Each structure stands twice: as structure tokens, then as C-alpha cells.
Chain A
Amino acid sequence: MPHDHHDHEHLSPSGHPFRADNDIPLTYWQRMEIAVRELLVEKGHLTPAEINAQIDAMDARSPADGAAVVARAWVDPEFKTRLLANASEATRAMGFDIGPLNLIAVENTAEIHNIIVCTLCSCYPRNLLGLPPDWYKTRAYRSRAVKEPRKVLREFGVELPKSTQIRVHDSTADMRYVVIPARPEGTDGLDEAALAALVTRDSMIGTGLARVPAGA
């Protein structure tokens, strides 16, 4: 994917500038990546096709997958019960290939707001939502989310009343988490696809809320 990294007008579909790769001087770590990849192939551990397939599989995962799960939970109480009891099984039953992911779903209500962090590294439900946003991996987020989540949420534009209890989940070990955001008011007439469009990535990490539909 060649591109001109000097051209800041040229933004990706996510609105971020593309990261320079092919057209900048080769770095030490890029040389290592190429060398390690070639050695793994030559030694018979991996094939180029496997590597390409894995890249495609990760690229295919996105917050839209999680949004579909959330929308289903909003319209189908029985599914929500299954999701809260065993999120890995319920998600797989919807047809998503989440690999070996051990997933726990936590539900936001008027009384409870959940937010996810990994203070020790940057564990993230990547097999459901795709790769994490850069901020999730920063020192600032990892340090502060377990001590001052309300201030952190304010930086994301989320102001919660004192009456709402915050539950932070530190993803320290084998489980990964997804937040089921509260269903916005004024969405009674919407179908599952329209509801899924309201579910943002950040709302499933707990640093955002689901969008309110236009006109509601």
C-alpha cells in the first residue's frame, strides 16, 4: 500500500493519517521483522499464506462485530442473559470467529457504569473488536483508569452523575471484557441494524456512551 506520507490531506477511512511504512528508510526493527518472518518460513514453522490469512482475519474484525452483539442483547432479553452468563459462547453462537478469546460481558445501567483497562500491558478483546486504539495502550490511560475513572471519562466527554457507581475492570489475566452500553432513549422503533449503528467502539470499552439517534 504505497502512499505519500507527506500528504496530510490523505486520511484513512478512520480519519487518521496513514502511517508511513513502505516509503521511509528501513528501520532496525523493520529489518528484524523481515528477517524473523523469513527465518520462520524457511524453518518450516509458518507459510506466507498463513501470515497473509492471519492479517486478513485481524483486518476483518472491527467494532462493528461487537456492535452487532450489543444490538442483539438490546432487542433479545434471552440472548442478553446468555451473553452475561457466557459471552464467549453467546458471541460464537452469533457466528463470530473469536478464536480462543475468554470473554466477559458487563452491562451498563442507570446505576452502574463499567469501564475496561489493562494496567499491566494492554489486554483488549481484539478477537471481537479488532486491534485496540492507541490511547488504550498509553501510560496515561493505564495509570489513571483504576484511580480516577471519572476524570478520565470527562476527558472522553462522558460526565456521570455521582449516583452512578463506576465499576472498573482491570484485565490482568485470562479474561477479556466488553461493555454492553445502556440502550439510548428514543430507540424503541429501531431495528437491530439501526441500533448497532449507535454502538461505538468507545461505548464497548466504557469510555463512551451509545449514540443517541438523530431526531430522538
Chain B
Amino acid sequence: MTKVRIKTMYPPGHVRAPFYIRGKEGEIEREIGPFGNPEQLAYGLEAEKQTLYRVRFSMAELWAEAAEAPGDTVDVEVYAHWLEES
């Protein structure tokens, strides 16, 4: 699976990349396809299509020593413009 990192950035406003995955590394579980960018749709704007991916994170990556079971995982849907190469 392809490794990616979620961008570390904190713009205000309506964003669908949750705080707890920013800056974290995960693997692309699957590509879902193009969807309108919610960061534009939320403000009544014409939305560009962004490819949506499901990214799988280990609990160890997300929570370090605080992880309940390091090998458990969380899958999160993330739009392409929030991903960078890992």
C-alpha cells in the first residue's frame, strides 16, 4: 500500500480532515473517486473535484504510547489536497 502523510496545516473554517490525523503517516487503503471539495461547497462556491482516498492509520501512529492496542487501525476518508508524499 502507498504511504502518505496528512498535511500539517490548520486553516480555519469548514474542513473534513480531522485534527487527530494531521501530520500523521498512513497507507492508502483504496481510492474512492472524485468528489466536490467540501471546503468550497460549504461556502456555496463552485467546487473543484478532488480525489477521495481512504487512508489507514495504526493506533500506534495516531496515539503513540497512549494507544489502547497499537496494532488496531483507523480508516479515514481524506481528499487528495490534504495528502503529501511520505
Contact = CB atoms under 8 A, between A and B. Distances in A.
- Verify whether A and B have any Cβ pair under 8 Å: yes
Interface of A: 102, 119-120, 146-151, 162, 165-175
Nearest to B74: A168
Interface string B57-68: 001001100111
What 5 A-B pairs come out closest when comparing CB atoms?
A: A173-B77, A166-B72, A168-B74, A148-B68, A170-B76
B66 A170 contact: no
Contacts of A173: 16, 35, 38, 52, 77-79
Contacts of A171: 77
Contact of A172 (B16, B62, B73): B16
Nearest to B17: A172
A175 B77 contact: yes
Interface of B: 16-18, 20, 32, 35, 38, 52, 54, 59, 62-63, 66-69, 71-79
Is chain A's interface secondary structure helix, strand, loop, or mixed overall? Answer: loop
Contacts of B38: 173
B77 to A, nearest CB: 4
Contacts of B16: 120, 172-173
Contacts of B54: 175
Contacts of B17: 172
Given A173-B38, A174-B32, A149 B77 contact: no
Given A172-B17, A173-B77, A174-B32, A162 B72 contact: no
B11 to A, nearest CB: 15
A148 B62 CA distance: 12
A166 B66 contact: no
Nearest to A166: B72
A147 B16 CA distance: 18
A168 B75 contact: yes
Nearest to A174: B35
A168 B18 contact: no
Contacts of B52: 173-175
Given A173-B52, A173-B79, A175-B32, A146 B73 contact: no
